[in-house]
Structure 1
Amino acid sequence: MLSRRQTVAGLGAAAVSLSGFWPIAAADRAARPPRLRQGDVLGLVAPAGFIGDRFGLAEIEATVRAMGLVPRAAPHMLERAGYLAGSDETRARDLMAMFADDEVRAIMAVRGGWGSARLLPYLDFHAIARRPKLFVGFSDNTALHLGLAARAGVPSIHGPNAAASWPRAAWDSFHQIAFEAAMPTYAAPVGTGPNLSGRGSDLRTFRGGKARGRLLGGNLTVLSALVGTPYLPDFSGAILFLEDTNEAEYRIDRMLTQLALAGILGKVAGVVFGQCTHCENPDGGYSNFTIYEVLDRQFSGLGVPAFQGAMIGHIAAQISIPVGVMAEIDADAGTIRLLEPAVS
């Protein structure tokens, strides 16, 4: 049995042999990927968890056709290795094949799960930078978004996976960013409760003000697991956006503390925490910090604008957030305004 040290060394050797991996210089950063058009081919990949069967894939392909796009599934889409959609090498080659295929306009992950980070040493980021394409997905696919930003400088979209339910709000947001090259302003939803103010509890401002910077982030669990690796971009002056699901309050606190101790929180120009789905106190009452108390304690003392409530995360009507593009946030209003398009 290989030791952990031997396994890590083997991954590194495989990365060199498969991708010729080396850092991307600033001058070699990629241009924006092209926008989607009706009738374009959308490559479907499974970088992490597997799809149950060919009937599930057929349903996903039907969704893509409803978008006005032509689905093209990766060759080994239905393979399975435990909880993964095939071996690391197979999944990485499928992803790289989509970047190399001239007929494929953009690439979308079918689902999350776990395993995307395992692909990073096998990817040829220089080839991706030379032929940038839009990559779309969320949750565990955060590892790929951050790797693309750090090693290739390619903008991507943190948005629904292909197997998502795609309600109208999610589709409209994605269409604006990916098809129209739009620069919308997204606002935390305003409640319509019976209280005198008329406002619900959707927006929580930890520190007010406005800030500008590049949008970088994604799933907190995945991001924190990449600390100390060469696949995290520089967060200096960035707008950090985060989301998570099914994590107890103390684990959210622990991961944010890790980002603080690693110096990441001290570099950012602003913070947006989207949704923390099913992160309620399991004991009920006040026997624990609420998730909002955890976020308030972590963000209010940073000295930068920070708020919670954007429709980012494990929710049906999630918005599509471009990773790596300039934006302005207003923490008092709970808004994110894109300052440049994600696609050309």
Structure 2
Amino acid sequence: MPSRRSFLRTTSLAPLLSLTTNQTAPTLIKPAKLRPGDTIGLFCPAAPAYSHETVKITQESLQALGFQTKLGPHIYDRYGYLAGRDADRVSDLHAFFNDQSVKAVMAIHGGWGCARLLPLLDYDLIQRNPKVLIGYSDITALLLAIYAKTGLVTMHGPVGSATFNTYTVDWFRRVLMEGETVTMRNPTDKGDNLTQTQDRITTIRPGLARGRLVGGNLTVLSHLVGSPYLPDWKNTILFLEDTHEDIYRMDRMFTQLKLAGILNQIAGFVFGKCSDCGPGNGSYGSLTLDDVLTEYIIPLDKPAYSGATIGHISNKFTVPLGIDTEIDATAGTIRLLESAVS
């Protein structure tokens, strides 16, 4: 699959800043909770389904959870690095939202291409037919735009090709099937070590913060800045994650969020995982990710922590966008103050 950064380019923000902060939030809409026997629609809004086996494993995993599945008509289409033409990928999404037998819509995987669909979406159709929409990585573009335009609570969680292990399934079930007001806390198992070495959290600024939970993939989010497809950032809890990005690119994207006035509006900050985002071989004098987070987040003087199990990882939370939330940056927790589903 081609690298996302091969297709995205940072653009000048100066003439567009007014679009980043004036979005009026629509009334919040919660999708119905999922129940055994419900049908989940599977589609490819970005990169193609290169493997029929991956799709089959997705179907079998969801069936093991008690769901039925339906494949989008264009799920195996190819148009270069995209899963078919933009209009066809959009038509699969529209068809699922218009299909009353489908209760949730899940992307098979990300890649690149969701942002191309945003001007083509029928937001009125989606608003009239609210249902669970779930994915991560490039799917961030759909999650943010649909939440911003319709008020629908969207879900940053597993895609079809993700690992449906016990940890990931447990959070999926508790948030989307049980409708719990969960407290998301990383595992604390030390394994055979004297202290915990995996999934640790790091407090950047201690304290509690409350706000609407909004965020997703940093690269995708930063490249929507200046467009009308981002929500109002005032008093939000911003969560971010990424993968395979050089540190200077992370620095550049945080600079973009700062210059656009987004960081100054948030109430709190959570950084998940940045898989394979080290300085790299031969990067003499490079900043580290810790350096970048320290430089951009500490001056905000808002509660913030990093290390949450959100991102391109096997064990992941299901994180709803738009829900009132409290974070404890000292304990490293995200507590939903209301159910994400109705």
2:210 to 209, 212, 221: 212
Contact 1:135 1:157 in 2 (8 A): yes
Contact 2:55 2:160 in 1 (8 A): no
2:257 maps to 259
Residue-by-residue CA offset, 1:80-118 (whole Å, 9 max, x unaligned): 100111001100111011000010011111100000111
Uncovered stretches (5+) of structure 1, i.e. residues with no partner: 1-22
Contact 1:43 1:71 in 2 (8 A): yes
2: CA distance, partners of 1:257 / 1:227: 12
Contact 1:29 1:129 in 2 (8 A): no
1:61 Cα deviation (Å)? 1.4
Letter in 2 for 1:127: L
Q: Which runs of 4+ in 1 moved over 4 A?
A: 23-26, 193-196
Of all paired residues, the percent bearing the same amino acid is 47
Change (3 A) 1:72 1:301: same
Change (3 A) 1:79 1:297: same
1:291 maps to 289
1:286 Cα deviation (Å)? 6.9
2: CA distance, partners of 1:248 / 1:68: 41
1: CA distance, partners of 2:229 / 2:120: 12
1:45 Cα deviation (Å)? 1.2
SS in 2 for 1:38: coil
Letter in 1 for 2:44: A
Contact 1:30 1:130 in 2 (8 A): no
Contact 1:44 1:71 in 2 (8 A): yes
Number of residue pairs matched by the alignment: 320
1:310 maps to 308
1:45 to 27, 43, 47: 43
1:163 Cα deviation (Å)? 1.2
1:15 maps to none
Letter in 2 for 1:133: K
2: CA distance, partners of 1:195 / 1:63: 32
Contact 1:189 1:310 in 2 (8 A): no
1:3 maps to none
SS in 2 for 1:182: coil
Letter in 2 for 1:342: A
2:181 maps to 183
More deviation in 245-254 or 60-69? 60-69
Residue-by-residue CA offset, 1:283-306 (whole Å, 9 max, x unaligned): 378732111111111111111111
Change (3 A) 1:212 1:24: closer
1:126 Cα deviation (Å)? 1.3
Contact 1:128 1:152 in 2 (8 A): yes
1:327 maps to 325
SS in 2 for 1:329: strand
Change (3 A) 1:193 1:64: closer
Letter in 1 for 2:146: L
SS in 2 for 1:336: strand
Letter in 2 for 1:129: Q
1:113 to 111, 114, 127: 111
SS in 1 for 2:215: strand
Contact 2:23 2:232 in 1 (8 A): no
Question: More relative contact order in 1 or in 2 (CA 8 Å, sep 6+)?
Answer: 2
2:92 maps to 94
1: CA distance, partners of 2:54 / 2:203: 41
Contact 2:24 2:232 in 1 (8 A): no
1:191 Cα deviation (Å)? 6.4
1:162 Cα deviation (Å)? 0.9
2:27 maps to 29
1:1-150 superposed matches below 5 A: 29=27, 31-150=29-148
2: CA distance, partners of 1:304 / 1:200: 26
SS in 1 for 2:313: coil
SS in 2 for 1:150: helix
Change (3 A) 1:286 1:310: farther
Contact 1:205 1:307 in 2 (8 A): yes
2: CA distance, partners of 1:285 / 1:127: 49
TM-score scaled by length of structure 1: 0.89
SS in 2 for 1:206: strand
1: CA distance, partners of 2:187 / 2:245: 23
1:29 Cα deviation (Å)? 3.1
Uncovered stretches (5+) of structure 2, i.e. residues with no partner: 1-21
